[in-house]
Amino acid sequence: MKKHLKNISFIVIGLILGISLSVFAYSVFAEEVGYTPVDTEWNVENSKEAIDDLHGTCDYCKNRFLGITWDFTFEGKERQFNVPLKGIYKLEAWGAQGGSYDTTIYGGYGGYSVGEILLNENDTLYINVGGKGSTTYHNETILNGGYNGGGSAKSIGDADVYVGSGGGATHIAKASGLLSTLVTNQSDILIVAGGGGGANKFVSDYYGHGGNGGGVSGEKPTLTNVSGYTYPIGTANGGTQNAGGSYMTTCSGSACYNTQAGSFGQGGNAINVRTSGGGGGYYGGSSGARSGGAGGSGYIAALNQKSIDIDEKHMTCYKCTTSNNAIDRTRTTDNVSEDAESDYAKMGNGYAKITLVMVSQ
């Protein structure tokens, strides 16, 4: 009996020591490979080395990596993500805001898109985070739009006209390039969050908020005119799931103003003076003459319908058109934040996140 108890004691002590050494080895190795929950540089080779060398094919040990998140802020260039493990990943994207005059006459807010997808080990994803639009006045020089599809804007040299360029879209794809360059391989696009249109201000009582981006379709700008002025206005139209926002031409006497239609991945640009740019998106919003630009649309059709970590794939945008269709489900919100918060519209630059939610065989 004592011999059996002694043997059991040795076994228990051995297990405790084994577990302790494994935990210690895991901690040391994780530190060596630079593992942190927000480490965007944690690459395929390092993650494979961490798992293979430390745990072999232990499924339980691989699941220790569940919940790791890679964050992508705006840098004005493309980023790469090398998939470390076969599994289900949650993709989140926020589009960028259009150029604003101030906090009361603002560019359209960027939209939010979320969903999950099965990715294979060694897959490479390409992330382009949208840049916010800018504002110019008393200047006929073309003002470029935000990175990744924001439309340009153009003021006028003899009047204090404020115009904003469009905010860029944020997208994640299996092919490299700005969103507008993927028109011939759209099947590689996984998720898009639309950018907002630029704002427009002529006088204190004549101004337009940019149209909000994201969702099944981008929004029109909101025009306020209690100044008594009557001018031709080229109102902008938002991008949809299959077309850019349409253009308009309006004339009053000899004065005519044209807007440019949005297109795949690109918001409409300035053609005439007094024009604000459209937001980038799956399809961009059109520019707006004497009004703000329109927002670009989002996209989630390539993602899984059923989800593990979220209730369902969907898009969220600020005071926008909703949809209950599974392919382009869209929710509206009154919530806006400069931080990347789930189901909030985005102020400022865009953002993207990738989270591992399940490891697959």
Model pLDDT, residue 220: 94
On whether both 88 and 61 belong to a single domain, the answer is no
On whether both 197 and 220 belong to a single domain, the answer is yes
**Ramachandran class of 23: left when φ > 0, alpha when ψ lies in -120 to 50, beta otherwise:** alpha
Output the average pLDDT for the chain: 84
On whether both 48 and 185 belong to a single domain, the answer is no
**Domain coverage including residue 44:** 1-65
- Give the chain's domain count: 2
Residue after which a domain boundary falls, among 35, 50, 65: 65
* pTM of the complete model: 0.84
Is the pLDDT at 55 greater than 70? The verdict is no
On whether both 189 and 249 belong to a single domain, the answer is yes
CA 202/CA 45 separation, integer angstroms: 56
Count of C-beta atoms within a 10 Å radius of residue 359 = 19
Is the pLDDT at 308 greater than 60? The verdict is yes
pLDDT tens-digit readout, 152-162: 999 988 777 89
pLDDT band at 273 (very low <50, low <70, confident <90, very high): confident
On whether both 118 and 220 belong to a single domain, the answer is yes
On whether both 84 and 174 belong to a single domain, the answer is yes
Count of C-beta atoms within a 10 Å radius of residue 73 = 12
Is 265 in contact with 279 (CB distance < 8 Å)? no
On whether both 115 and 35 belong to a single domain, the answer is no
On whether both 6 and 95 belong to a single domain, the answer is no
CA 299/CA 48 separation, integer angstroms: 32
On whether both 20 and 166 belong to a single domain, the answer is no
Q: For residue 19, give the nearest of 55, 46, 65, 49 by alpha carbon.
A: 55
On whether both 171 and 195 belong to a single domain, the answer is yes
Residue after which a domain boundary falls, among 65, 85, 118: 65
Task: Return the bridge partners of 225, or none.
Answer: 206
DSSP category for residue 323 = B
Higher pLDDT, 361 or 18: 361
On whether both 171 and 98 belong to a single domain, the answer is yes
Task: Return the bridge partners of 183, or none.
Answer: none
pLDDT tens-digit readout, 210-233: 999 999 999 999 888 877 776 666
